[in-house]
Amino acid sequence: MPFSDILGHTEIIGNLRSMVQSGTLPHAVLFCEKGGYGALSLALATIQYMFCNGEKGEDSCKECNNCTKISKLVHPDIHFTFPINTSTVIGGDKRGEVEQFYPAWRELVKSNPYFGEQELYKAFGIENKLGTISVAEANSIMRKLSLSSYEGGAKVMLIMFPERMNVEAANKLLKNLEEPQSGTYYFLISHNPEKIISTVLSRCRIIEVPPVGKEILQQELQRKMGLSQEDAKFWARCSGGSMGKAIDLIAREKEQNSNYLMFLNILEKALQKDLAGLVDCWEEIASYGKEAQKGICIEGGEILRKIYMISLGLEDISYAGAKEMEKFRQLQRRIKQEFYHKGYGYLNDALECIERNVNPKFIFCDLCNRIFYNI
């Protein structure tokens, strides 16, 4: 990926380019963002600029052998790691676990480099499980970087979501971060840097990636997704400067996901005082994986926020999609005003219980009952 493909971030690009040109690029760079602002794109563009052996000026040439390999994510001296669930291993072979997900990783990065953690798990088919970067993977990282460069140049390890690295795995990497081999670089992409252990943070140059400007995002949505100017402006405003969030919101508008529909179903059953229907809901949710259960609670909170904003006459900042708006207008007429605050509390309680591994039947039976009696 060349710098020219990145949305905005002119100042960051200029700083990264200068560091590569002057040979002062730190051996470990941590890109921090809230999600979907372009941190991965910045890292990949910097790596391509480093490795480009063509006629490069302000950007990589895009045509040399290295640029071609990097654009396909197949350069032998550039390695990737990311959280996976070790119980989900393709073909039942537990050797080289991360590498087995490389085809899906490459496809995801090429189609949407602004993805979040849940999009990664969905691409891997593990959306109902929590991914981690294990001690075994930390050992694999060190082994790969201890080998000589295949093409005689630099070696790079790109770590996606290092916050999913457990303490033992992170400690394994500390020595390499403290005393890296010459020509070895780490690029880390985090959406929750506060969850990374402090000893790893202290050994990285931290680059905070801000939201993309709304006008730039609007133009890209028109160009890439074929939206009208009005629709692109709406989604650019809703996304808060995150291309990743804009893509997700548009996809959700086109095809409402199961978490969204499930929580709306819970609200409808509660409003209709259909207790038997609510029992069916919580029994079904209890059979889901942990991440899917959390997703329903998070989606539920977002739905309640939108309906609450509409009930206050603040439709412009509800960020409800065009197809949602009429449905939510109808719901707000039927829901007690005092329920919104309570509902948030119920969902947060459920999320906390999920994290503590409480029996999901108890969690969602309690959640549905509280909604039933208070909505």
Answer whether 3-208 and 256-374 agree in fold. Answer: no
**303, 264 contact by CB (below 8 A):** yes
User: How many Cα atoms are found within 13 Å in the side-chain-facing hemisphere of 27?
Assistant: 16
Tokens read off for 81: 């790691």
- Give per-residue burial for 309-348: e unless 16+ CB within 10 Å, then b: bbbeeeeeebbbbeebeeebeebbeebeeebbeebeebbe
pTM (whole model) above 0.75 = no
> How do the pLDDT tens digits run along the chain, 375 residues long?
999 999 999 999 999 999 999 999 999 999 999 989 999 999 999 999 999 998 888 999 999 999 999 999 999 999 999 999 866 554 444 444 788 899 999 999 999 999 999 899 989 888 767 889 989 899 989 989 888 899 888 999 999 999 999 889 999 888 888 888 889 999 999 999 999 999 999 999 999 999 999 999 999 999 988 888 988 988 888 888 899 989 888 887 765 578 889 999 999 999 999 999 999 999 999 999 888 899 899 999 999 999 999 999 998 888 887 778 989 999 999 999 999 999 999 999 999 999 898 999 999 999 999 999 999
At 129 the pLDDT is 74
Strand partners, 84: 132
Domain ranges of the chain: 3-208, 213-254, 256-374
Distance CA 32, CA 192 (A): 8
Identify the CATH homologous superfamily for domain 3-208: P-loop containing nucleotide triphosphate hydrolases (3.40.50.300)
Calculate the alpha carbon distances from 335 to 270, 275, 298, 365 in Å. Answer: 10, 17, 19, 20
Look at residue 283 and give its three-state secondary structure.
helix
As a whole number of Å, the end-to-end CA separation of the chain is 50
Nearest to 38 by CA among 12, 18, 62: 12
Tokens read off for 8: 């905005």
At 86 the pLDDT is 66
Q: Are strands 205-208 and 28-32 parallel, antiparallel or unpaired?
A: parallel
Q: Are strands 28-32 and 78-81 parallel, antiparallel or unpaired?
A: unpaired
**221, 235 contact by CB (below 8 A):** yes
23 burial class (0-12, 13-18, 19+ CB within 10 angstroms)? Answer: exposed
CATH 1.20.272.10 correct for 256-374: yes
Nearest to 188 by CA among 284, 83, 278: 83
**63, 34 contact by CB (below 8 A):** no
Calculate the alpha carbon distances from 94 to 129, 154, 165, 168 in Å. Answer: 17, 29, 18, 20
Which runs of E-coded beta strand occur in 104-180? 155-160
User: How many Cα atoms are found within 13 Å in the side-chain-facing hemisphere of 327?
Assistant: 14
At 280 the pLDDT is 95
At 92 the pLDDT is 47
> Which H or E run contains 279?
helix 275-286
Distance CA 254, CA 261 (A): 13
Look at residue 190 and give its three-state secondary structure.
strand
Distance CA 155, CA 10 (A): 26
At 93 the pLDDT is 47
> Which H or E run contains 348?
helix 339-355
At 44 the pLDDT is 97
